[in-house]
Every structure is written in C-alpha cells, then in structure tokens.
Structure 1
Amino acid sequence: MTNLTVEAVTCEYRKNPLGMDIKRPRISWKIQSDLRGTMQKAYQIQVAVHQEDFHETIWDTGIVQSDESIQIEYNGPQLESRTRYFYRIKIWDNHDRESDWSETAWWETSLFSSEEWKAEWITPDPKQLDLHSEAAFLLRKEFTLKTGISSARVYGTGVGLYELFLNGGRVGEDLLAPGWTSYHKRLQYQTYDITEQLQVGTNAIGIVLADGWYKGNLVREDHRNIYGDTRAAKLQLHVTYHDGTEEIIVTDPTWKAATGPILFSEIYHGQTYDARLEKEGWSQSHFHDEDWEDTIIPDMPITKLVAQENVPVRVTEVLKPMESFVTPAGDTVLDMGQNMVGRIRFQVRAPKGTRIVLTHAEVLDKEGNIYFGNLKFAKQKVEYIAKGEGIETFAPNFTFQGFRYVKIEGYPGQENGLPLDHFIGEVIHSDMESTGTFECSDPLVNRLQQNIVWGQRGNFLDVPIDCPQRSERLGWTADAQVFIQTALFNYHGGPFFTKWLRDLQADQLPDGNVPFVIPNVEGGKGSAAWGDAATIIPWTVYQTYGDKRLLSDQYDSMKAWVEYIRRQGKNEFLWNTGFHFGDWLALDAKENSFVGATPKDLIATVFYAYSTRILRDAAKVLEKADDVEEYSILLNHIIEQFNQEFVSPAGRLVSPTQTAHIIALMFDMVDGKAKERTAYELNELIMLNDYHLNTGFVGTPYICFALSKGGYHETAVKLLMKDDYPSWLYQVKKGATTVWEHWDSIKPDGSFWSDQMNSFNHYAYGSIGNWMYKVIAGLDMDATSPAYKKIKIEPKFAGISFTSAKAIHESMYGKIVSSWQLTNDQVAVEVVVPPNTTADILLPKAKLVDVYEGDELLVTGDIYSFIETSEGVKVTVGSGSYQFTYPNEEGLRPRFTENTKIIDFLDHQEAVAVLEKVAPGITKPPALFTTKARSLKELVEIGEANLTEDKVKEIMEEINQLEWEEVLV
C-alpha cells in the first residue's frame, strides 16, 4: 500500500462541477505523502465518457514529466455539450513512488452555443396581468414523461430573480439566482440535475419571478428598472431515456401565469407575504390552472447567456437568537448576538389574517433602542400574514437583510416574551470554501479576525458589495481591491472574482475608464484606487491561484485602464486631472468633508505607477516582450516624475500626511535616503498622533505593511493593539461583531456618526487581516512562484503584546501552517509545508547552534539547507511538518502583561530608567530582568524587590500613563 495519494481533485476550482460552458477546463489536485520533501516528478490524467471504463479514454496524457499539479488544461478532442466527463489522476514522486489512481471525479458541460437554446423568454400577458405589479409572478407548465428515464437536466435563468419548483418541491438550494451581472452584456444561467424529482406520467414545473437587481429599486429612492421593466424567465428541460431518446420541455407561450402570496419583494426593502394567497399544489401535476393567465414572448434586450461562473448564494449557517428584550421605547427586539446577513426563519401558530412584522437593524442606540437611522431609504422589513392553519413556517426570499437586532411586531403572545426556539437566523452569502484561519494570544485581536471574516461573509453576495443593510449594497471597486488579499486568504475566491472581473471588463468604458461600481448602475467614471481594481484584482487572483488564463483574459482590460490614465492631462507620467475620491473617509479630512488631506494627484500618480508595475509583471507572465519593455520604461518615468513633483531635494514628501508616506513606501515610489526619511517621518507622524492612525480607504490597508517594511514593526503592532479611538480594537471594545465603515461609527460617548453614511458592516478596513497573516503569523508566498508553490515563512514576533500567533491557509497545493509561541525560556515555531512545494523559513534572532528541529539539533538533522544571518537562522525545507525550538535570549520574551498600557519588553537599561522614574528608591532595580519574572507583581512574589502589593499597583498605574519616549529620551 502506497502512502502517496492524489486528493482533492477539482475542475475549474470545483469538485464535480455541473453545467460548465468552458471548452478547455483546467484540472488541479493535491498530494498527500508520509515522507518529507515530496515533490511530484510526473503525472498522468485520463478522461473518459464512461465512469466504469477508462480503457476507452478520450484523452490520456500519458506520463508527463512535470511538477505541475494545478491549472492543467484539458487538451483532448473537442468536448460535447450536455455531456459528463470522468477523469482521474496518478502521479510519480521524487522518492521513486507511484500513486494509485485518484478517486474518479467528473465535470459536466452545459450549452456551448446560443443555437442550442430552444426555449423562449416568457412573461405574463400584459393584457391579462399587470407586468408592473409588485407581486411576484408564478409561471407553470405540465408535461408527461414515459417510462425509462435515465437523466434530466434543467438549464434556466430569469430576470430579475427566480426560483424553480418541480412536482411540488424546490429545485436546488441556490438563492438570488441567476445572480447580478451586467445583464445586457452577459446573463448567467444555472444547471440542475432533476433526475430524481421527475416521475413517470404527468409532471409539473414552476418558476417564481421577482424584481431583484434587474428591475427593482436600486441606488436611489426613485430609481427602478435600471436594466429593464419586464420580468421574464427562460428555461429548458432535457429528459434522456435509457433507449437514448430525448424530450425537451421549454418555456413558450403554452405556460400559464398568476400572482401568489409574495405581494412585494425587494433587495433593499424586504418582503410582504400573504399566506392566505398561497396556491396549494401550484407546482404539482393536476393543479387546476384554468383561471390562470396566458404568457407571451417579450422582446428582451439580453443576447448572451453564460453558464454559472460564480459559486451560488446559499444559506451557509444557522444562528440561534441570544435573547429577546423590550427596549426603553417599548419595542420587542430579538438579538442574534452577531451582526449577520441573511434572513430570519420563524414558525408561528396564529389566527387567520394575523400580521407579523420584522424590521431589521444592526445596533442599538445609547439609550438601548433599536437604531434604523443608517438604513437611509432601505426598509429591511418583512411582513407575514398568517393563513391560520396550524403551525406555519416562513422565511423571505429574493431579498436579504443586514442585522443583529430584529424588531418584532404582531407575534402572538409576544407581550409575555418571544419563544426563542421559534426563530433562527439563516446566514446567506456566496458559498465559498473557507481556506484560512488566524488566531493569537490576544482575545481582542482574535475577535477582530472574526469580525473580518463575518464582514466578508456578509458582503460577498454574488458581487463584493460595500454594505448589506442600507440602500446601497453596490460593487464598489475600491472596497474590493483593498480587501482582495485578505479575502483570498480567508475564502476561496477563484470563481467569485472570475465572474466579477468579467463584469468589470464588460462595463469598462470604451476609453478604458472603469466605473466606480461593478456592475455599473451608478454611471460614474473612474478614480485612482477605485478603477485600479482592473489591474490589482486579476493580478492577485493569479498570484493566489496561478490562474494564468484569467490574467490573459483580463489583460486587455488591464492595459486599457493604464492607457486611459496615460492619456489624462498634459504630462503622461503624472495623473493630476479629473475626479478622484482621494483618501476617502480619512480622519485628517477638513470639516464636513469625506476626503482626506493627502493630495489627490499624489495618490493618483502612486496608483498609476502601481497599475503600470502590475501590467508590466503580467506582460512578463504572458510573455509579451514588447509590453514588458514599454511598461518598464513608463514605470520608471512615472516614478521619476513623482519624485520631481512630490519629493524635495532633501528627500521630504511634500504632503505631511500618514497616507502620503504609507503609499510612497508601500509601492516603492522612493528609494535610498528618501525612502529612509519617508519611513522615519511616517513613524514620527504616528508617534505624534499618540500611536493612532488618521488614514482612510487608501492609506489604511497598507499602514502596518509600510511600517514593518520600513523598519518600524513595533509601531505597527502598537497601532494594531490600540483600543481607544481611532483603532481597530476600539470597534471591538465597543461590541462590534463586524468591521465598521467609520472609525467612529459609534463614538466614545455612544452617539453615532452621521446617518448619511454609517455602515456597521463594511469590510474595507478589515484589510488589516492581510498584514496579520503575512507579518504577525508570517505566512506568505514568494512572489516569483504563484499559488504558494514556494512559501515564505517569516514571522515577526510581536513582543509588544503577543506571546503566540498561528495562521493556516489551504492553498491550491494543500494546507500551510505558520505558528509560533514564546515562553520565558523558549521560542517555538511550527511549520507545515504541503507536498509539491518548498518553503524558506526565517527563525528570528536564532543562533544556528541552538536550534532544534524536533528532538535533534538542526545542524545534525536531515534538513540540508540552513544558514545563520544577522536576522536569525534561515532554513529551506520541502514538504512536511516541522517543529523548531531555540532559547529565548534575544529580547523576545513576553513583556508586562498585567493591566499595563505599556507592555514592551524592557532591556536592562530601560528597566532601570522606568523604575527610577516611577518608583525611586527601589533597592534592586537591576534584578528586574535578571530573573524569570514577567511583571512587577511577580517580582514581589519571588522577593526580587522590596515592593508591597499596593506599591506595585501604584507603579503599574503610573507606567500606564507613560509612553516610552517620555521615559527613554
């Protein structure tokens, strides 16, 4: 039995994908091995049309000498539409082992051409049913099938949103289908396997149609019918029999139409459902639809249908409410304990006609009343009218709410308290695979990580929306690009961003400009750091997943964006014209302004350089030699002009803002002494601001990276650990369970930022997660080897407060772990490297002779590549699990931890300085760190200083009031 296996086989990122229109899909796999240093030396892929018979393959690669195990493109005969293909993989490794075949996997194609669509668009006859009715439409048809059904598939879509029913049951679990795209240019359709739901004889199929994004209220209060004013559906059902014959049932004017219990359903506003109007059995056979209306074929402005690209939106988790209570204003409120996105499902026994109203909100005000002010014109209201027949269960569809609290009205007996077991919260988002975790020794930072993840879940609903509660919920480009790396660590976003980038490309203007939101419903044009999503996101997806095809597909879009910038103004090397959002919501903004103090042309020119650098690097990957040369030259000119325009001869940036310094450092706009000075002055700006940031959307994602990169890592950690306003942990201490839009969405006195724009679930500032994973935990990749083929493990021990940190990421090659822990005596670093990859590991402050790997000294073990440097010991390893330990002798041990604000580790001289300042007369101050004591309290307990307990508390309180600069100047 071999201990080398092929696992987690996927096609286009998915396990057994149903309904793809990709003609040359790509196959990936992961390797499991019980030996360290395992590398694939060769692979073989076989593809067949019969699961049981791989002797008749349509494609057999033979043994391919290669270490590639991701994104291997199918290169066999042309695929057929509506066909299932089975495939399997085996590999050979560098230990001369051959694996068994993997488990057989499959992909199934859908419709490859528009000619294969036999169905028509249908909608109710407007002479019989008001097409502008707020009520959702019901469409139905009966059909008869003979015996011997082998398989059946539905290919369906609709505008706005649709749900499919067959023989009385719901088809699939997808919500908000077909998703939100640039509808006139591309509309997704879904594929469902309905074989088990069909029956011999008479069957019935039904469709529910609601407005959704297509024609519902969007952006502004009076703004509707953005894409069209007619709901419609298109569907065809293919039934294959054992004898090889086939029947096709399609949407056409033989279908019947009516309205039902959904009287109103909107993305922003919620739903009104009258259970008394339910049409029992409407999607079952033998239903009497004689009084239903006719359907017609409308003239629809949609020409291009594409198979589902993104993962579907689904219910991914169920939450139970924590409590219910009555507010000072007298409202009965349900508390879910978590700011979530989704819906409430409830059950009730009530008299016929009872109206139950649920109104959703994120927070309570300082008086303890439920707060709706930040919703703008969104109602977030669900109304249910009971039919009065036993226990009724209900959850709304075609809508979603962002909420933690729910105001309940009309629930029978609620004056005696709500029965909590009758309510659950269903969490809804794009059903992405979780791929990352982070934890550390600080519970507030762990809660911050949870908030980042919940913010991502709540705002990734088919598109990366900016907020899920108020009347906005749009695909803002800046939010997506600043968060993209954090997003792709936490969740697998390959299909999600592939779909969204194709809409970006579709909505990109003819001159290359990129609208503010995608899909483009605002009509706005581009801004620096917003339109740059066109380059940043495809490049990041390529780096994370090795997706060269997506990079190639988006290359023209990337190039068009850079060329658009290049044409702006008189100087092609500066971007100093046009509208820009600047450092949006920065705290250094002028009164009554959303835009920070950093000059917009400085920001624009930096992002111009950044996008140009990405474009050049993409050209290298795609082997476009002429473009590599052209954009290398352009990049050099932009940087040169930036330095002439924004940097003094002495190396000082003209803008004395944190953000100006951050982005100049982060994107390598300055070099040499100017770079040193910029890093120094950034640190000074933050110190002078009491170690607080004042950055907005542009500066915040990179602030800690710029500090750590510039040699001021401890300042970066102090920023993270601040828990007063403004800071990440201030939000946590204020009870946040998602990331806020404003640093002071809730002010220190409990009042709110302006109702005008105040989301309590806005993921952009959650981009700090990327720094936590890469720098604190130290889990990163070598940029020259995408998809973590070559891993970089370089933790920076955050001695100011952390005693441990751990990041885990499930990469395309497998699970990567970077974990470290500090005790008084020892540093421990654990690393897991997946097969078919290597890792360069830095053990900070280690000495080679002291490092153990497992139970053996590193120098005598089986790891062959290591070296001691000024930074510590650098080790190169292949796959496997590694446990490194070495003495804690280099100022890495935990620092004051008992209720102190200043918890930096002090060396001997600093300890004396602090103690002499706050406690003169201590007899033995030098003993402070000659023992294993971690605090003054411990010193008292072990008798190393003649201090009483009260004196220790007094000293600690005085230390809390100090900053190191006061002590050590």
Structure 2
Amino acid sequence: MKQAFLTALVCSTICSLGAPLKVKGLRTESATNPIGVSNSPRLSWQLDSEERGNFQRAYEILAATTQEKLDEEKADLWATKKQQGAAKLLVSWQGKPLKKGQKVHWKVRVWDKQDRPSGWSKIATFVVGEQAKLLKPGRISGFESSSEKLNQLYRQSIANLEKRLDAFTEGDVAALGDGSAVHRSARAFLYHFDSVPHLTEWLRLMDSEITKDNFFPIYPGAQTTAPVSSDSGVLVTHPLWWMSGDAQPTRSRWDAYEGHIIAREAQDTLLKGTKWGGIADSENVAAEFIDLCYLGFSCRLILELALPAVQPQKAIRFQVYASRIRKSFERQFVNKDGSLKSKSQTGHVLALRSAVLNPEQKAKVLADLIALVTKNGSKVGPIGAHFLPGVLSLTGNQDLALKSLTSLNAEEQKNYTESGIAEWLMTFVAGIDTIAPGFNQVIISPRIPSNDSLSWVRAYHDSPTGQISVYWKKLSPDSALKAEVMIPTGALSRVILPIRKNQKITESGNEIADAKGVEIIERKDGKVSLITQSGKYSFLIK
C-alpha cells in the first residue's frame, strides 16, 4: 500500500512538471526537405509541449552526409553540441562547407525551461543547388463559421489562391497575376499556404528584370511598368518579412526597392500623381489619385522595412517623400472640410490606408465612408475590395463589414475572393495575427459582431512558430462569450476580447488571478486585454 502511494505520488509529481518538449516541423530556408538551397542555409524547427509557458533553453543540431551516420550520431558535417538560447527560426549554418548537389541529413534536440532534454527530432534533408526547386505548397490553415456566406467566400478564395500557386509552381511565372494582384493576395497566400518559397522566388524574378531606370516590371517576364503592379516589388516584401520572420530579403533587396521608389520620385518630381504605364481611371477614382496613394503606401512600408534592412539613415529620404505626398494629396483631392472630392468607396479606403491624410481628415473620410457603405452596401472593384473590410474592422465597424460582405452578388463576390478576403477572415473574423515578425508574439483579437450575423468561428494557422488556433462562440441569451485559444510553444500572446461592464472573465473555471500563464493588463472601452504564455486556454466571459 505504501509502495503504491509512493508510486502514485511520483507519477503525480512528474505529471505536474509536464513532459519535456518535442521537436517537429524541421525546415530549411522555410521549406520542408527542399532541393536547391544555398551552401549556407538557415534551419528552423517548431516545438510542442502540453505545459503552459514552456520554452527552449538550449538546442543541439547534428548534420551528416548520410542518414545512417546520423542515426549513429556521427555528425560528419556539423555538430553544434549544446547551444544555450531560444533560437529556432532561421538558424545559420555553421558546419563544414557544402558543395553543389550535396544532400544533407539533419536533426535537432532541445532542452526545455527546466533543462530537460527532448528526444531527437525526425530527420530532415536538403540538397544544395544554385536555384530552389519549388514544390506544391501545402495548406496551413482552416476556417469555418456559423455563416455559410463567409464559408463560401473562404472556399472560393482558397480555390483561387491554390490555382495560381500551383500554376506558378509548374513554371508559369505570370500565374500569380500582375503585381497588383500579388500585392492584394500576398498575406492571404502566407496565411493559407506554405508559400514563402514561392513569393521569395516571385520577388527574385521581379528583381532580375528591373529596367535600366530602376523600375520593377508589372510581373515577371513583362516588358512594361506601371504604378501599383510595379510597386509590388516593395508592397510584397513587407508581408513576406512580417509573416515569415525572415529579415534577410529586406537587406539583400534594399537597393532594388529603394531604387524603385527613387525612380518614382524622379519621374514625378512634384509628387502630384501621374498617368503612366497605361494606368487609367478605375473604380470611379482618377488615375492620378491611385498613383499618388500607392506611392504613399509604398513609402509607408519602406519606412517600416528600413529597420530590418538596417538602413535607418536612408529612411529619412522616405519620411520627406511621405510628407510631400500628404501635402500634394491635400491640395489636389481634399476639400476644405477634410472630405474627399471623390465620392468613390474605393477612393475613401485607398486614402485611409495609404498614409496620405492627417488625423482630422482621416476622421472625416472615415465617417463619409461609413455613410456610403451604410447607404449603398459594398460598391468597390478589386482595389477597394482589398482594403474595405479591413478598414471597417479596424475602425470598430465589424457589423457593417459583415453586412456588406454577406449581401454580395456573384460579380461583387468575385472581386473579394480574388483580392485577399481570406486574409481578412483570419485577421479580423478569427482574430489571428502577429505583433512581431514571424509570430513569436501573437495577437488574438477577433472582431465579434454585436448582432446575430455571426455566432461562432473556428480557425487555425500553422505559423513559423507553430500552430495557432481560435474558437469563439457567443452563448445566448445572456451575451456570454466562450473563447478557446492555442498559442505555440515558446511564443507569447496578447488576447483581446469584448466584455461588458457587468461581466467577468474566467479561464478554465478559475479567476484570472488564479490561472497559470495568463494575466489581465487592461480593461477599458468594452474590451479586456490579457497576456498569455504558450499553451491552451479556455476563456468564459459572462
């Protein structure tokens, strides 16, 4: 009896400590077992743990010329020994020099926060080569909701993205669309498909065909340039860095996209916006308006890219450009009361997202946009469809966003399914996003409608750090809300949920003060904001 008690006590103690970490998801240059990587590749892996707040304290990598040697732990290419640190994303190769055509086998083990070693991971491989061979991208997301209309938008958008990626993988360099289409879909590609290698290759092709005047082409293989599409050499770079966590392309490509923006300014020294490259008035918006907005948008993004590119001093040029663009836009397109001369919904959302308005003008333009959408529903083309849902969600108008998107005819629906609506579904409906590059710091902030247009959502995204999942459900009739989230091992998150004055929030039946790995940092304006460590959490607000 005493022995049984001691055995149970030991088992209970071990269980309370949690199992060691597990290593999974080995990748080389953001791809699984790739063929054609450089001779100085970067290695990544993910972690799995049942324990909240667990993390990697150290790691060890072994690499060998054959699987047999690796099985015997005879690392004839690289043996790091135990390295202190949490690095697990894009760890640079420090082993023996590699040759073209060489196949490398590698594996990893880690030590957790209590310095307990994991088992060795499964073996991964890569082959050194001059150019990467693209593989069919796998799905890395899921989404379903109580709204069949939203589910339909999701399915149609996924089918569109997959068709384009598959054709590009097979060698059709124009299959992703022109630069404008790729820019609108970039984050959707990255949310839903294992597409980092594909967008990286697309940008490489764009770089290889920069004109002698430093303009990007409208798409790889094209002989023409134009605003928006050519600007995608900048516009696609930002989401690729932000969602993959890979800053290397921002540095290696700086001269290319900096040169493009400088060339844009040299072509339009007064920064008035011009008709060039065949651009025409579109969606009831003047070509000059579109051109100037996208130049402003590009400057805003290149200012953000200057940090990972380690080019802070060069950012000053683009701050000056941005200021000049705002002043020019105001002179040409803004009325004295702060409203836009254009009455187009596309014009309003484009101005709001392109850093061309001051705060007072933004407030007026937003109010006018809400009035237009409330009166007429969604009346936008592809450009406006990319921005409208996000603008409404960001400004606290989720009810209106959902109403407009669930009232579309077939033609209007096509504009959205081809313009990145699957990104909006993940970011603002499911609420999955990142605060820092590569999802090391996750934000879970679903915009939950105040009406009955949407009662539940279930979604997941396999990020570079690991899988993030969300399930939220409105519990009638007392306006209660259930939210279950999973944060990848080694990551932190901020969770933001709606809450009323008379409501309280618990986690797995416990007061937040008594729950492990989570704390409230703010409660105001009808929202509660929490910080969590990694792990699974079940919140109830009632």
Normalised TM-score (structure 2): 0.89
How far the C-alpha of 1:21 sits from its partner, in A, is 4.3
After superposition, residues 894-933 of structure 1 pair within 5 angstroms as: none
Which residue of structure 1 aligns with residue 3 of structure 2? Answer: none
Residues 706-737 of structure 1: CA distance to partner in whole angstroms, max 9, x if unpaired? 12223322211111111446642xxxxxxxxx
Structure 2 residue corresponding to 1:794, chosen from 430, 445, 452? 445
1:481 to 1:13, Cα distance in 2 relative to 1, 3 A: same
Aligned residues: 517
Task: State the partner residue of 1:41.
Answer: 57
Q: Secondary structure at the match of 2:318?
A: helix
- Distance of aligned partners of 1:647 and 1:42 in 2 relative to their CA distance in 1, 3 Å threshold: farther
Distance 1:796 1:69, change over 3 A: same
Which has the bigger relative contact order, CA under 8 A and spacing at least 6? 2
SS of 1:606's partner is helix
Q: 2:487: which partner in 1? A: 833
CA distance in 2, matches of 1:686, 1:627: 40
Question: Which of residues 486, 489, 508 in structure 2 aligns to 1:854?
Answer: 508
Q: Which amino acid aligns with 2:89?
A: I
Match of 2:432 among 779, 786, 799: 779
Which region of structure 1 is more displaced relative to structure 2, 482-491 or 573-582?
573-582
Deviation at 1:439, TM superposition (A): 0.9
- In structure 2, C-alpha distance between the alignment counterparts of 1:535 and 1:464, rounded to whole Å: 22
* In structure 1, distance between residues paired with 2:99 and 2:346: 54
> In 2, are the aligned partners of 1:582 and 1:596 still within 8 Å (CA)?
no
* Contact residue 582 and residue 698 of structure 1 kept, 8 A: no
What is the letter of the counterpart of residue 10 of structure 1?
R
Q: Which residue of 1 aligns with 2:407?
A: 722
- The answer to whether the aligner puts 1:682 opposite 2:369 as a matched pair is yes
Give the deviation of 1:562 after TM superposition: 0.8
The residue that corresponds to 2:397 in the other structure is: 712
CA positional deviation for 1:449? 0.9
SS of structure 1 residue aligned to 2:433? strand
Unaligned 5+ segments in structure 1 are: 111-305, 312-430, 584-594, 729-739, 744-762, 888-969
Given the superposition, is the C-alpha separation of residues 39 and 667 from structure 1 closer, same or farther in structure 2, using an over 3 Å criterion? Answer: farther
The aligned runs of 1:565-584 (5 Å cut-off) are 565-571=264-270, 573-582=271-280
**Matched residue, 2:202:** 500
Secondary structure at the residue paired with 2:236? helix
Contact residue 464 and residue 475 of structure 1 kept, 8 A: no
Structure 2 CA distance, aligned partners of 1:680 and 1:4? Answer: 50
Counting only pairs closer than 5 Å after superposition, residues 158-557 of structure 1 correspond to structure 2 as 306-311=130-135, 431-463=136-168, 475-520=177-222, 523-526=223-226, 528-557=227-256
Distance 1:462 1:63, change over 3 A: farther
Q: Which of 20, 38, 41 is the equivalent residue of 1:22?
A: 38
Among 876, 898, 905, the residue aligned to 2:531: 876
Name the amino acid aligned to 2:445: E
Structure 1 residues 25, 846: CA separation in 2 closer, same or farther (over 3 Å shift)? Answer: farther
1:98 matched to 2:117? yes
What amino acid maps onto 2:55 in structure 1?
M
1:524 Cα offset (Å):
2.1
Distance in 1, Cα, partners of 2:379 & 2:277: 23
By how many angstroms is 1:41 displaced?
2.5
Report how far residue 481 of structure 1 moved.
0.9
Question: Which residue does 2:386 correspond to in 1?
Answer: 701
Cα distance, 1:849 vs structure 2: 6.5
Label 1:864 to 1:8 Cα distance change in 2 as closer, same or farther (>3 A): closer
Evaluate the alpha carbon distance shift between residue 807 and residue 485 of structure 1 in structure 2; reply closer, same or farther with a 3 A threshold: same
Greater CA drift, 510-519 or 814-823:
510-519
Distance 1:58 1:847, change over 3 A: farther
Q: Which residue of 1 aligns with 2:457?
A: 805
1:665·1:678 contact (CA, 8 Å) conserved in 2?
A: yes
Whole-Å Cα distance in 1 between the matches of residues 298 and 106 of structure 2?
Answer: 39
Write the distance in 2 (CA, Å) between the matches of 1:57 and 1:544.
34
Shift >6 Å, 4+ stretches: none
CA apart distance, 1:54: 3.3
CA contact (8 A) 1:832 1:879 kept: yes
1:130-189 CA distance string (max 9 Å, x none): xxxxxxxxxxxxxxxxxxxxxxxxxxxxxxxxxxxxxxxxxxxxxxxxxxxxxxxxxxxx
- Post-superposition Cα deviations, 1:739-796, rounded to whole Å, max 9, x if no partner, equal x36x9xxxxxxxxxxxxxxxxxxx523x1221121111111111xx111111111111
CA offsets 1:322-369 (integer angstroms, 9 cap, x no match): xxxxxxxxxxxxxxxxxxxxxxxxxxxxxxxxxxxxxxxxxxxxxxxx
Whether the aligned pair in 2 keeps the contact of 1:463 and 1:475 (CA below 8 Å) is no
Q: Deviations over 1:440-475 (max 9, x none)?
A: 10122212211111111222234399x99xxx9674
Write the letter of the residue equivalent to 1:775.
F
Distance in 2, matches of 1:628 and 1:717, equals 38
* Structure 1 letter corresponding to 2:147: D
The sequence identity of aligned pairs, in percent, is: 21
Q: Summarize deviations over 1:393-449 as a string: whole Å, max 9, x none.
A: xxxxxxxxxxxxxxxxxxxxxxxxxxxxxxxxxxxxxx1110111111012221221
| SS of residue paired to 2:382 | coil
Partner Cα distance (1:808, 1:668) in 2: 31
Conserved 8 A contact 2:176-2:182: no
Q: Output the CA distance in 2 between the equivalents of 1:512 and 1:89.
A: 43
How many Å separate the matches in 2 of 1:541 and 1:88?
26
Amino acid at match of 1:874: S
Please state how far the C-alpha of 1:832 moved relative to its aligned partner: 0.6
Secondary structure of 1:463 counterpart: helix
Structure 1 residue 55, shift from structure 2 partner: 4.2
Aligned to 2:4: none
1:669 counterpart residue number = 356
Match of 2:312 among 619, 625, 638: 625
* Distance in 1 separating the partners of 2:213 and 2:163: 34
**Of 55, 58, 61, which residue of structure 1 is paired with 2:77?**
58
- Taking a change above 3 Å as real, the CA distance of residues 872 and 101 of structure 1, as seen in their structure-2 partners, is same
Kept after mapping to 1: 8 A contact 2:103/2:127? yes
SS in 1 for 2:472: strand
- Aligned partners of 1:613 and 1:668: how far apart in 2? 7
Matched, 1:598 2:285: yes
Q: What do the CA deviations read for 1:797-855 (whole angstroms, capped 9, x no partner)? A: 12341001122100111110122101213210111101111110012125596212112
- Choose which of 74, 77, 80 in structure 1 pairs with 2:96: 77
Structure 2 residue 474 is the aligned partner of structure 1 residue 822: yes
Q: What letter matches 1:525 in structure 2? A: T
Shift of 1:103: 2.4
Give the aligned residue type for 1:832: M
Most deviating of 26-35 and 101-110 = 101-110
C-alpha contact (below 8 Å) 1:310/1:498 kept by paired residues: no
Instruction: From the two aligned structures, give the one with the greater helix fraction.
Output: 2
Q: CA separation in 1, counterparts of 2:324 and 2:87?
A: 37
Alpha carbons 1:6, 1:89 under 8 Å: kept: yes
The separation in 2 between residues aligned to 1:39 and 1:655, in whole angstroms, is 52
Shift of 1:558: 1.3
Q: CA deviation at 1:531?
A: 1.2
The structure where strand makes up a greater share of residues is 1
Which digits, 9 at most, give the CA deviation of each residue in 1:590-621, with x for residues without a partner?
xxxxx322111111111111111222222211
Q: Deviations over 1:597-651 (max 9, x none)?
A: 2111111111111111222222211211321222223223322332333223321
Alignment-mate amino acid for residue 38 of structure 2: I
Q: 1:602 to 1:59 in 2, by over 3 A?
A: same
Q: Is the 8 A contact 1:42 1:67 kept in 2?
A: yes
Residue ranges of structure 2 left out of the alignment (5+ in a row): 1-13
Displacement of 1:104: 2.8
- The residue matched to 2:228 in structure 1 has which SS? coil
